[in-house]
Amino acid sequence: MSTPLLRIATRGSPLALAQARAVRESLARVHGWEMRALDQLCPFVVVKTSGDRIHDKPLAEAGGKGLFVKEIEEALIDGVADIAVHSLKDMPAEQPKSLIIAAVLPREDPRDLFIARDGSPFQSLREGARLGSSSVRRQAQALRARPNLQVMTLRGNVETRLAKLARGEADATILAQAGLNRLNLTVEGGELLDWLPALCQGAIGIEIRGDDVRARDVVVPINNATSAAAIACERAFLAALDGSCRTPIAGLAKISGNRLSFEGEVLTLDGRNSWSALREVNFHSSDHAPLTAAGREAALEIREAAGDKLPRF
């Protein structure tokens, strides 16, 4: 049997390439491909996105989530690549109509890790300390708990942000534990936070052209049903809130057997106001309709409770 050739579109950061390799190796295991032949069987199409090029302003001001996705999706639509690998937390709620998420890998640890330059835990960080993050969600959650901190923008990939912290450009920062795990990085003195993460944090999605039957047949066998179910709920919550990188939105769906529990929240930028909603729902197999309904209903509950205070950008 001949082995299909897939060109994989990905960003070029160390984390993005680690995620693309994880997808490629998962495909190799399920299809029996030789690992040493993967560069030829599934070459990477490295795409530099707008988010990679813009360094002089916060992402929220530059255009939000789509900055890390747009050019990769264009490569897919134009036929330059056959599949695209994304951090699902970077994907806008709406996709181009011709594209679909065909598979989701098993989700990594979705929690945030707080790292202080002096090793302090989050609640003991000194008053007025500079907390560096490009995420408005993390900034808002931090200010809700510690309004006496000074939040500032800290851009760059994982290694760059750690280097900036070491140089003293900030007193502390917050990173996704999933990214550190995928890069095999351990940060001494880091503190896992118990607040809600970004929607879809820790999840890798594989996007394809909706009419590409060959690509779908190749990638569907590596889909993790549990992760895909959780992501369906979280993305429905995001879509119903018209969420973007400019909106402090958090949420996490947890699945036990055929039961999903979801908690989502929206905050104002200063963290002074927040609204949350909980949902629990039973579902069966690949029927995501109850899950997307739960996400939408949670979002509508928050929209009604917040009224005209709900952040809109």
Q: How far apart are the first and last CA of the chain?
A: 52
90 is known as an active-site residue: yes
Q: Where does residue 130 rank: exposed (0-12), middle (13-18), buried (19+ CB within 10 A)?
A: middle
Angle at 23 between CA 235 and CA 40, to 5 degrees: 140
CA pair distance 37, 150, nearest whole angstrom: 50
Q: Point out the catalytic residue in the list 82, 90, 112, 212.
A: 90
CA pair distance 82, 237, nearest whole angstrom: 28
**Distance (Å) of CA 38 to CA 34, 72, 92, 196, 251:** 7, 21, 30, 37, 36
CA pair distance 127, 105, nearest whole angstrom: 40
CA pair distance 277, 240, nearest whole angstrom: 13
- Residue 168's φ and ψ, nearest 5 degrees, are 90, 15
Which residues form the catalytic set?
Answer: 90
